[in-house]
Amino acid sequence: MKIKRSIMFNQMSGKLFRELAEDIAAKFPEESELCTGNIDASNFISKSKKLKIEKFPIYNRKSKMTRVISWLIFTFFSFIKMIYAPKNTLIFIVTNPPLIVIATWLVCKIRKLPYVILVYDIYPDVLIKFKVLKKKSIVARIWRFLNKVTFENSCAVYTIGDFMAENLSKQFNVNKTKLKYIEVIPPWADTNIIKPIKKSENPLAKKFNQIKCESILKAAKLLKQKKNIKFIFIGEGEKFKSSLEFVKSEKLHNVKVLPLQPENKIHYTLALGDISIASLDKGAEGLMLPSKIYYYIATGSAVIGICEGTNDLAKSLIKGNFGITVSPGNYKKLAKTILFLAKNTSKLKKFRDNARSSSISKYSRKVCVKKFEKSLKSINLLPY
């Protein structure tokens, strides 16, 4: 069967995935679609004119209940979309929402449509590690079984880290997929857009004077007398509110807590930091990877990874020699590490140079999407 188009499903499709969707869509003879609940996606215009963005219900992260409801609603919309998908369509799903894998297997089994899966976070393992679900609960066991069936009947399973791939390979028979192995394709940044910007040329740097948030905030408190070190938090949700409260109560004049900034300013906001911090919660090792580090290094920022044990975040920092790891909760060590890099300018420069060079050679849009395309071509899912 010759594939003529693709339909991609990602509830929180960010810039990275939209770039992938655009580049993959350009390879098909007919128009492809990206179904997402991300509001920013509505402003995304494909340069190739081969990708259509279809707005699906947004992801409501206010509480655990609203998240689950959002998952169910998006999965239902996806189910209907797949049922009416034209023949010769490749279904490309992301495990966001995690319940979509079940709907995909069911529809594609009936419709005989090929599908591939990109795993960003491994469910239900993440929920089990954070004690939302019990390991031996009936929900967890059914979920694992349905994952196994869905993965084994897919054409290919992709993920973003080596340790994540190792964990996934224990959960289903990889040889039953068409690809026969789990392809690891790391997150990337478009290094032509996301790049270093001098502070004198960055309007946001002038404006703002230049995770587990708790550790970072406590480190900021220890360093509040260091006038040459400033912290900037950008985000939303529960951690954003608690961070703002902490800054106010502790009177931290060295910290700026800002709401999410417009996506068209992302190249400025990312370039603000000489040092960026990425955190991996304890227990999430090998189950997820904070992909934002690949945007940080594209700007030539050194990275401090808050993590422990064997994980893909630490491996990236060590392999690329562009950062240092600190254990979760050790805010004193975090403060010392920041102070060390601030004083040791030659070490910081080396990390920053390595970050940018690694981004271009290993984690750029061009390099990573080409790897995706090569993989899909190898199993006849891309026409050219």
Sign of CA dihedral 210, 216, 217, 219: negative
Query: What is the pLDDT confidence band of residue 38, given thresholds at 50, 70 and 90?
Result: confident
**What is the SS3 assignment for 188?**
coil
Q: What is the pLDDT of residue 41?
A: 58
| Angle, alpha carbons 360-236-290 (nearest 5°) | 35
Q: What is the pLDDT of residue 12?
A: 85
Q: What is the dihedral of CA 83, 7, 12, 44, to 10 degrees?
A: -130
Distance between CA atoms of residues 166 and 158, nearest Å = 12
Task: Provide mean pLDDT across the span 252-274.
Answer: 79
Distance between CA atoms of residues 295 and 119, nearest Å = 19
Query: What is the pLDDT confidence band of residue 42, given thresholds at 50, 70 and 90?
Result: low
Closest residue by Cα to residue 60 from 73, 51, 70, 52: 70
- The alpha carbon of 150 is separated from its chain's Cα centroid by a whole number of angstroms, namely 22
C-alpha count within 13 angstroms, C-beta hemisphere, residue 17:
28
Q: What is the pLDDT of residue 25?
A: 94
Query: What is the pLDDT confidence band of residue 217, given thresholds at 50, 70 and 90?
Result: confident
Query: What is the pLDDT confidence band of residue 211, given thresholds at 50, 70 and 90?
Result: very low
Task: Provide mean pLDDT across the span 349-359.
Answer: 96
| Cβ-contact 12, 38 below 8 angstroms | yes
Q: With residue 307 as reference, give the H or E element that holds it.
A: none
Q: What is the pLDDT of residue 39?
A: 64
Give percent of the chain with pLDDT exceeding 90: 53
Name the one residue in this structure whose structure tokens are 């960055």. 202
Q: What is the dihedral of CA 106, 107, 112, 115, to 10 degrees?
A: -90
Distance between CA atoms of residues 160 and 8, nearest Å = 17
Task: Provide mean pLDDT across the span 53-59.
Answer: 88
Closest residue by Cα to residue 140 from 151, 122, 159, 127: 127
Task: List, in sequence order, the alpha helices (H) in the chain.
Answer: 15-25, 64-83, 100-111, 125-129, 138-152, 162-169, 203-208, 213-222, 238-250, 266-270, 293-298, 312-320, 331-343, 345-361, 365-378
Distance between CA atoms of residues 369 and 23, nearest Å = 7
Is a pLDDT exceeding 60 seen at residue 196? yes
- Provide DSSP, 211-277: --HHHHHHHHHHTTT-TT--EEEEE-SHHHHHHHHHHHHHT-TTEEEEEPPPGGGHHHHHTT-SEEE
Q: What is the pLDDT of residue 249?
A: 84
End-to-end CA distance of the chain: 14
| Angle, alpha carbons 104-105-110 (nearest 5°) | 100
- Sketch out the chain's domains with CATH numbers: 5-188+364-378 (3.40.50.2000), 199-361 (3.40.50.2000)
Residues 58-69 have pLDDT tens digits of 888 778 788 889
Task: Provide mean pLDDT across the span 214-224.
Answer: 80
Distance between CA atoms of residues 180 and 174, nearest Å = 5
Name the one residue in this structure whose structure tokens are 């655990």. 64
- Provide DSSP, 330-374: -HHHHHHHHHHHHH-HHHHHHHHHHHHHHHHHTSBHHHHHHHHHH
Distance between CA atoms of residues 262 and 40, nearest Å = 9
Query: What is the pLDDT confidence band of residue 14, given thresholds at 50, 70 and 90?
Result: confident
Task: Provide mean pLDDT across the span 221-229.
Answer: 81
Q: Which residue has the higher pLDDT, 331 or 354?
A: 354
Q: What is the pLDDT of residue 259?
A: 76
**What is the SS3 assignment for 329?**
coil
**What's the predicted TM-score (pTM) here?**
0.84
User: Mean pLDDT highest for which of 126-135, 168-177, 272-281?
Assistant: 168-177
| Angle, alpha carbons 14-15-16 (nearest 5°) | 95
| Cβ-contact 86, 5 below 8 angstroms | yes
Query: What is the pLDDT confidence band of residue 381, given thresholds at 50, 70 and 90?
Result: very high
Q: Taking the CA atoms of the chain, what radius of gyration do you get in angstroms?
A: 21
Residues 84-132 have pLDDT tens digits of 999 999 999 998 888 898 899 999 999 999 999 999 999 999 889 888 8
Residues 282-330 have pLDDT tens digits of 888 888 898 889 999 999 999 999 998 889 999 999 999 999 999 988 8
* 13-27, 38-52, 182-196, 294-308: least confident range: 38-52
Query: What is the pLDDT confidence band of residue 214, given thresholds at 50, 70 and 90?
Result: low
Is a pLDDT exceeding 60 seen at residue 216? yes
What value does the mean pLDDT of the chain take?
A: 87
Q: Which residues are registered as beta bridge partners of 158?
A: 118, 183
